[in-house]
C-alpha cells in the first residue's frame, strides 16, 4: 500500500479527572487523582477528505518532571504548552506522511521546549500525544489493525522494522502487577478495607489474579526495603512461576550508591530466592545523572548481575544509544513518550541484540493507563511488537469503568467482550484470567479502538500561551 499523506487542519483538547481507590506511592510522588488529557484532531487527505483521530494519556504527579518546587497545575501547564507547540509545528509543516511529519518537526519542537526550560520528557509530550492521534486516524480510515498498517507502509515508518515484527500480535498478555510503596502486602494489615469487590492487598492479588509477574517499587531506605521485600518474598512459594522487576524511580544520585544498596539487599540470605527471580531493574538513578559517563565504570565492573534499564531518562531519541554505550540493557516503552519513540527504540534494541550477541529488553510500562484510549493504544503497540508481559495497574488503583460515561462503558463492553467483564453490581472491570488479559478483539481493530471518547462527558481545555 502507498503512503497516506495528511495535513493537520484543526484540533480540540479535553480533560477528565480520575480518582484512585487506593493511594499509590512511587518515589516521592503520591497519586490520589490525576487528569487524563484527550486530543481530537481533524486531518485533511490529498483527495480533500477529512478524517478524525483521537488519543489520550494520564498525567501522574512528578513523573514527567520531578521538580517539586512547581505545583501540579504548573506541571500540567507545561505539558499542555508542549502540546500547543507540537500542534502549531505540524500545522505549519503542511502535508506529509505520519512518520515524516514526526521526523521533520521533532527537533524544532524539542528545541522550543528546552528554550522554555522544559525537560526532554515534557518537551516531547505534546508530539507524542499528537502522533498517537494521527496514527489512530489513519487506522480508522483504513479499518486496519495497528500491526497491519505498520507493515503496510501507510505510516511511512522504515521497512527495516518488518524483520523484527511478529507475524501476529500478542493475544494473551501477562499482567505485571506493581506493588507501590504504600500498598498493603497482607490482607490482615488493611485497617479500613474498601470491600469494593476488587483485591486490596498483594495477598489477594496473587490469590484472585494468579499473576506471574510483579513489579516492586523500592526506596533508598535499606532497612525499610529489606523488611518490605521479605514480606513480599514470603508470599512467593517455590512452585510459583514468578518473575520480578524492581523500579527505583530515580531514588539514587549515582550508580555506585545504588550498587551498594543492591548488594546489601541481594546479599540477605532470606532474599536469595526473591532476587533469583528479578529479571531487570528500572531507572534507579536520578535522570540528570543516569546517563553520566561515570555510570559506565560501575556497570563495567560486572558486580550488578541483574540488567538495568532506563525509563524516565529515556526522554529523547539519543537516550537509548547513550544508555547502551554506558552498559544499560534496555528501555521502557510508553505511549506517553510517543509511538514512534517506541518503534525507533524497538529497532535499536533488536539491532543491538544481533550486533552484541546479548539480550536487550524493551519493557512495556505504564501503571497509570486506564480505559479506553490510554490503555488500549499503549497495549496495542506492545502487542504489535510481540511483548508478552506488561505493567498494567490502572485497573488496580483506579476502579474499572467508574469514571467513564454510560456511552463509553456500553461501547467498550460491546467492542471488547474478552478484555472486560462486569462485576455483580454491573461495574465493568479488566478481565484477568490466570494472570493474563485477552487482546483478541483489541488486535483486530484500528489503534486500540473504533469507538471514540464521549466528548460531551469531558471538559474542554484551553491550551496555555506560555510555559511556567
SS3 assignment, position 355: helix
- Residue 70's domain spans which residues? 5-143
Instruction: Report pLDDT for 122.
Output: 96
Q: What would the grid cell of residue 182 be?
A: 504504600
**153 assigned to some structural domain:** no
Instruction: Report pLDDT for 303.
Output: 63
**57 assigned to some structural domain:** yes
Same domain, yes or no: 118 and 209: no
Same domain, yes or no: 363 and 297: yes
**148 assigned to some structural domain:** no
**305 assigned to some structural domain:** yes
CA-to-CA separations, 424 to 196, 197, 283, 399, in angstroms, rounded? 11, 9, 40, 14
Instruction: Report pLDDT for 74.
Output: 96
**Sequence-ordered list of residues with C-beta below 8 angstroms from that of 197, at least 6 positions apart, any chain:** 423, 424, 425, 427
SS3 assignment, position 389: strand
Instruction: Report pLDDT for 393.
Output: 85
Whichever domain contains 105, its CATH number is: 3.30.390.10
> Cα angle vertex 338, ends 296, 53, to 5°?
175
DSSP state of 26: E
Q: Element (H or E) spanning 10, and its range?
A: strand 5-26
Same domain, yes or no: 189 and 116: no
Which of 90, 109, 143 finishes a domain? 143
The string of pLDDT tens digits covering residues 445-455 is: 899 999 999 99
DSSP state of 3: P
Instruction: Report pLDDT for 1.
Output: 61
The string of pLDDT tens digits covering residues 214-240 is: 999 999 999 999 999 999 999 999 999
Q: What is the mean pLDDT of the chain?
A: 94
Distance in angstroms (rounded) separating the CA atoms of residues 388 and 342: 16
Question: Is the confidence at residue 28, as pLDDT, over 90?
Answer: no
Same domain, yes or no: 172 and 111: no
Global pTM reads 0.96
Same domain, yes or no: 130 and 163: no
Question: Is the confidence at residue 168, as pLDDT, over 80?
Answer: yes
Whichever domain contains 187, its CATH number is: 3.20.20.120
The string of pLDDT tens digits covering residues 94-152 is: 999 999 999 999 999 999 999 999 999 999 999 999 999 999 999 999 999 999 999 99
Same domain, yes or no: 328 and 368: yes
Question: Is the confidence at residue 372, as pLDDT, over 80?
Answer: yes
Q: Where are the beta strands (DSSP E) in 276-375?
A: 278-282, 308-310, 330-333, 361-364
Same domain, yes or no: 371 and 239: yes
Same domain, yes or no: 351 and 425: yes
Q: How confident is the model at residue 327 (pLDDT cuts 50, 70, 90)?
A: very high
Q: How many domains does the chain have?
A: 2
Question: How crowded is residue 456: how many other Cβ atoms within 10 Å of its Cβ?
Answer: 7
Same domain, yes or no: 212 and 90: no
Amino acid at each position: 500500500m502507498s503512503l497516506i499523506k495528511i495535513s493537520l487542519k484543526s484540533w480540540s483538547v479535553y480533560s477528565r479527572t480520575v480518582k484512585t481507590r487506593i493511594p499509590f506511592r512511587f518515589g516521592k510522588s503520591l497519586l490520589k487523582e490525576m487528569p487524563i488529557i484527550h486530543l481530537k484532531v481533524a486531518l485533511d487527505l490529498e483527495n480533500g477528505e477529512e478524517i478524525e483521530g483521537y488519543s489520550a494519556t494520564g498525567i501522574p504527579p512528578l513523573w514527567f518532571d520531578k521538580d517539586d518546587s512547581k505545583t501540579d497545575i504548573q506541571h500540567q501547564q507545561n505539558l499542555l504548552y508542549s502540546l500547543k507547540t507540537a500542534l502549531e509545528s505540524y500545522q505549519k509543516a503542511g502535508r506529509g506522511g505520519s512518520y515524516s511529519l514526526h521526523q521533520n518537526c521533532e527537533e524544532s519542537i524539542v528545541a522550543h521546549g528546552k528554550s522554555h526550560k522544559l525537560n526532554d520528557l515534557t518537551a516531547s509530550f505534546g508530539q507524542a500525544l499528537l502522533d498517537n492521534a494521527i496514527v489512530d486516524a489513519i487506522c480508522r480510515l483504513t479499518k486496519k489493525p495497528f500491526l497491519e498498517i505498520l507493515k503496510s507502509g501507510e505510516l511511512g515508518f522504515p521497512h527495516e522494522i518488518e524483520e523484527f515484527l511478529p507475524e501476529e500480535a500478542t493475544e494473551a498478555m501477562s499482567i505485571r502487577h506493581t506493588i507501590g510503596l504504600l500498598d498493603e502486602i497482607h490482607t490482615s494489615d488493611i485497617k479500613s478495607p474498601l470491600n469494593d469487590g476488587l483485591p486490596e492487598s498483594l495477598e489477594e492479588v496473587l490469590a484472585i489474579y494468579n499473576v506471574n509477574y510483579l513489579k516492586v517499587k523500592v526506596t533508598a531506605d535499606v532497612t525499610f526495603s529489606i523488611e518490605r521485600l521479605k514480606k513480599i518474598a514470603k508470599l512467593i512459594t517455590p512452585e510459583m512461576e514468578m518473575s520480578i522487576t524492581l523500579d527505583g524511580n530515580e531514588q539514587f544520585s549515582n550508580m555506585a550508591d545504588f550498587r551498594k544498596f543492591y548488594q546489601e539487599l541481594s546479599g540477605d540470605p532470606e532474599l536469595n530466592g526473591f532476587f533469583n527471580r528479578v529479571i531487570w531493574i528500572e531507572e534507579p538513578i536520578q535522570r540528570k545523572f543516569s546517563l553520566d559517563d561515570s555510570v559506565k565504570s560501575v556497570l563495567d565492573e560486572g558486580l550488578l548481575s541483574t540488567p538495568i534499564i532506563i525509563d524516565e531518562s529515556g526522554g529523547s531519541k539519543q537516550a537509548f544509544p547513550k544508555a547502551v554505550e554506558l552498559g544499560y540493557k534496555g528501555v521502557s516503552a510508553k505511549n506517553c513518550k510517543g509511538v514512534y519513540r517506541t518503534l525507533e527504540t524497538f529497532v535499536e534494541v533488536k539491532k543491538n541484540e544481533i550486533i552484541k550477541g546479548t539480550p536487550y529488553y524493551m519493557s512495556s510500562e505504564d501503571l497509570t493507563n486506564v480505559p479506553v484510549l490510554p490503555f488500549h493504544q499503549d497495549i496495542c503497540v506492545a502487542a504489535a511488537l510481540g511483548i508478552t508481559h506488561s505493567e498494567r495497574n490502572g485497573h488496580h488503583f483506579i476502579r474499572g469503568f467508574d469514571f467513564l460515561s454510560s456511552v463509553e462503558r456500553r461501547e467498550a463492553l460491546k467492542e471488547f467482550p474478552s478484555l472486560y467483564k462486569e462485576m455483580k453490581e454491573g461495574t465493568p472491570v479488566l478481565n484477568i484470567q490466570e494472570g493474563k488479559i485477552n487482546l483478541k478483539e483489541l488486535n483486530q481493530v484500528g489503534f486500540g479502538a473504533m469507538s471514540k471518547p464521549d466528548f460531551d462527558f469531558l471538559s474542554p481545555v484551553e491550551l496555555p500561551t506560555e510555559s511556567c
